[in-house]
């Protein structure tokens, strides 16, 4: 029955305009995306659902379009992955991962089985293994999965989480580092995560939070130029990010899918991984400084318990 419901949801929201979270049909267009952006897809707009206020790309890119992006060598050369050098020499944001694991281990001191969804090259899983976790990874890209195996000798399955069919109630913790925004159907993934987590198992998610000054500046530049100046929007809303969460929408999404939020931490996106330079970089640093006086940061880190 659940599989049938998920199939019906996919069929429904695949139609232009329907919200991937609530399948609402009414939306408001926020931005028209430039055609000459990296990794172009059929998505031409950023919209907000008038029913649940979720922000997403419209229409949602097809499975084939996303597969083409993730199987492209160019995708794995974007600035975000530069810390994971060929040969496994990159250390990645290890301090950031360490801090998150320390927080997670307050709730799960026994460590246990850990699944990283969208594990990329395996930097996080390798660190988790050194801290006593038994790591497993799943990623849609053959390129990244092969590197995770070669660099760190990790167990990584290529494919989508729902199709892997892990055993029920198997994992003590599941992590999604900058992954939720990439998923065509976040609801179906959260339902599958609930199924394969042990009773009172833990879910750790990091994703962006669009309710902050940086996104407001991008919005203002677009509106003031009457949609002509789209460069900030193209950077803030890349083709491979399908969803843009606020704290409130993410909290509701977790609650509706039987997860209780037990930890929340606003975090700024590391500017060195943004690929920006010059005056733009200085401007973002200024925005980060202003945002340091509030809880409205570019990223949000959440730990939730299965209930």
Would you list the domain boundaries of the chain? 2-306
Residue-wise pLDDT for 118-173, tens only, equals: 999 999 999 999 999 999 999 999 988 999 999 999 999 999 999 999 999 999 99
**Average confidence score pLDDT of the chain:** 88
The proportion of the chain whose per-residue pLDDT surpasses 90, expressed as a percent, equals 62
Residue-wise pLDDT for 224-272, tens only, equals: 888 888 888 888 898 999 999 999 999 999 999 999 999 999 988 877 7
To the question of pTM greater than 0.75 for the whole model, the response is yes
Residue-wise pLDDT for 42-71, tens only, equals: 898 999 999 999 999 999 999 999 989 988
pLDDT at residue 89, as a whole number: 44
Burial of 233: CB neighbours in 10 Å, binned 0-12, 13-18, 19+: buried
Superfamily of domain covering 2-306:
Vaccinia Virus protein VP39 (3.40.50.150)
pLDDT at residue 79, as a whole number: 65
pLDDT bucket at 210, cuts 50 / 70 / 90 = very high
């Amino acid at each position: 029955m659940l599989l049938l419901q998920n199939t019906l949801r996919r069929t429904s929201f695949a139609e232009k305009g329907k919200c991937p979270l609530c399948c609402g049909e009414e939306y408001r267009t926020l931005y028209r995306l430039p055609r000459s952006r990296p990794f172009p897809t059929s998505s031409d707009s950023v919209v907000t659902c008038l029913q649940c206020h979720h922000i997403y790309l419209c229409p949602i890119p097809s499975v084939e379009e996303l597969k083409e992006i993730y199987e492209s060598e160019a995708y794995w050369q974007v600035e975000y992955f530069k810390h994971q050098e060929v040969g496994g020499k990159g250390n990645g944001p290890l301090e950031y991962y360490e801090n998150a694991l320390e927080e997670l281990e307050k709730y799960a001191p026994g460590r246990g089985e850990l699944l990283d969804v969208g594990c990329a090259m395996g930097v996080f899983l390798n660190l988790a293994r050194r801290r006593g976790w038994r790591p497993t990874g799943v990623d849609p890209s053959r390129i990244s999965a092969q590197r995770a195996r070669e660099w760190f000798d990790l167990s990584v399955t290529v494919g989508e989480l729902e199709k892997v069919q892990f055993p029920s109630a198997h994992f003590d913790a599941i992590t999604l580092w900058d992954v939720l925004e990439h998923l065509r159907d976040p609801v179906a993934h959260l339902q599958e995560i609930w199924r394969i987590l042990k009773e009172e198992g833990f879910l750790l998610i990091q994703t962006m939070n669009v309710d902050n000054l940086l996104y407001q500046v991008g919005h203002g530049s677009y509106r003031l130029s009457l949609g002509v100046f789209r460069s900030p929007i193209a950077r803030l809303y890349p083709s491979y990010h399908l969803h843009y969460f606020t704290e409130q929408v993410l909290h509701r999404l977790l609650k509706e899918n039987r997860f209780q939020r037990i930890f929340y931490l606003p975090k700024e996106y590391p500017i060195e991984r943004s690929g920006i330079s010059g005056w733009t970089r200085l401007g973002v640093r200024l925005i980060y400084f202003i945002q340091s006086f509030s809880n409205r940061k570019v990223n949000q880190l959440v730990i939730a318990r299965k209930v």
